[in-house]
Structures are given as C-alpha cells and as structure tokens.
Amino acid sequence: MRVGVTRPAKYERESVEIARAYGFDVFFAPLISVRRVGEPKFEEFLQGVLQKDVDFVVFMSVSSVECAFAHVYDIEPRGQLAKDFIRALNKTTVAAVGPATLRKLESCGVLTRLLPKEYSSRGLAGALRPLVRGRKVWIIRSKQGDDRLKTSLEDAGATVKEAKIYEITLPAGEEREHVVELIMLLLAGGIEVMTFTSGMCVENFLKIAEELEVRERVVRRMRSITVAALGEPTRRKLEAHGIKVDVVPKEFTFEEMIKGIKMRVQG
C-alpha cells in the first residue's frame, strides 16, 4: 500500500523510514517550503530576552526555533551570543506548540516548561491564559496563520508581541514536480493513503491541483481513499474542503499517524 507523505523536505528520510517500518510504500512530496525572512522585531525580542524583560516565549514550530537561532548566528557568528541567548531563554517560561518543537528546543539547550495537551494555537491559549495576566509574552512564528493566540492572551491580560521570522511558500522547482507527480499518481489510483501534517499542506496541495485544473477530481478521489490528518486544525481544514478524514492520532507525531493508518487498513 502506497502512502503519500507531504511533510517538509528535511523530514523525508525520517518519514520514509517510519512508514516502511509499518509496511507501507512511500511517495514523498514536500508541500511547503520554509524561507527565513527579515523581521525588525526580532532584535527587540532578542534584547528583551537578554535583558530579562520577557516572561514567556512561545515557539510555534520547529522552523520557528531553527530560524530564531539562524538570526542569532547572523548577528554574531562565533556563538557567544547564542550561548547568552540560551541562558536567558532558560530564565523565561518557554512554551512549545508540540513535541517536535520541544525536541528541537532541547537539542539547542533550551528548557521547555510548557507543552499544551492539544498541540495547536488553541491548546497553547488554554494552557497559557491562566498564567499570563500582567506578563510579557513573545510569540515566534511564521508570517502565515492568524492572530487568535495573540488576541486570546491579550484578552487574558498579557502584553503580547510577535516576531514573524519565516514564511511558508509553495514548493518550487523539483519539489513542485514531485507534487505534480503525486497528484497524477493519486488520480491514477497509485496512492491509497494521503497524509497531511498541517493546514498549509492542505491548502498548497489543493492550490497546485487547481493550477493543474484537476482540483475537483482530486477531492473526489480523496473521498475514496484513506486520509490522515495530524491534529484537529488540519482535520478541520480538510473537512472544510469536503474531504472526509479517517485518521487523526491522539498524539501529535508522524509515527502515531502512521500507526493509526495501519490499524485502520488492517480493520
């Protein structure tokens, strides 16, 4: 059984190994590309952390961690600033949106003190709202998405700022060619399971299908195969486009999603 996997390119090896370990063949086609962008507010965030004028720092993705440290090393390549940044971060309350982000922070030497039960903006809001009245909060995120977490924490009495330090773009070049091939395989019956790990993956997949003038056919085809979503926001995005979701793992990891697919197809 062949599974379509649409995670960012840096997860290809890990994804293929996990899926094959559960007996699946894999067609890998990254549906999002991450591009670091200049953000004037990052310097304000950095200085606030270093001067101990920040209470909470919220990282919204693995990419938010990677791009934050890339910005720090751009400012001072030798690494001393990064060490100071890590020490200062560890004196704040650092929150991660999910386990992968937590692991990335830990690999950088950063202690994560808060991980929500639901790995989403809504989950973070629920976990943070009782803690942030009168506190200063920074959210490190992409240019995409919405301001619901910021608004929710402000409503709870926090002073909230955001540093939008990267953007998510459509795949291009060879990566786009892989997506086109995935769509053609799906329509030809060569893909029996589709997996999506974010709402942006869903949007980009359907956008490229629309550009190929096969969007309606793709949606119809996905109604007849197994579709898996990582997290409730991704499920809601698929369902908003009329696509029924069969598997949503309780734990927010790719392996748990593959386990859930295995259980479903085995009946």
pTM of the complete model: 0.80
Question: Where is the domain boundary, 169, 197, 222?
Answer: 169
Verify that 100 and 192 share a domain, yes or no: no
Question: Where is the domain boundary, 169, 199, 227?
Answer: 169
Verify that 52 and 13 share a domain, yes or no: no
Q: How many domains are contained in the chain? A: 2
Distance, CA of 137 to CA of 48 (rounded, Å): 10
Segments forming the whole domain that contains residue 94 = 35-169
Verify that 50 and 150 share a domain, yes or no: yes
Verify that 22 and 74 share a domain, yes or no: no
Question: Where is the domain boundary, 124, 146, 169?
Answer: 169
Q: pLDDT tens for the chain, 267 residues: list them.
A: 999 999 988 889 999 999 999 999 999 999 988 889 988 999 999 999 999 999 999 999 999 999 999 999 999 999 999 999 999 999 999 999 988 899 999 999 999 999 998 888 889 999 999 999 999 999 999 998 778 999 999 999 999 999 999 998 888 899 999 999 999 999 999 999 999 998 889 999 999 999 999 999 999 999 999 999 998 889 999 999 999 999 999 887 899 999 999 999 887
Nearest Cα to 71, choosing from 107, 94, 28, 42?
A: 42
Q: Which two tokens stand for residue 38?
A: 């200049």
Distance, CA of 37 to CA of 42 (rounded, Å): 11
Nearby residues of 53 by Cβ (< 8 Å), 6 or more positions away: 47, 136
Verify that 160 and 48 share a domain, yes or no: yes
Distance, CA of 234 to CA of 243 (rounded, Å): 11
CATH number of the domain where residue 225 is located: 3.40.50.10090
Q: Alpha carbon of 41 to those of 136, 140, 162, 167: distances in Å?
A: 15, 10, 8, 15
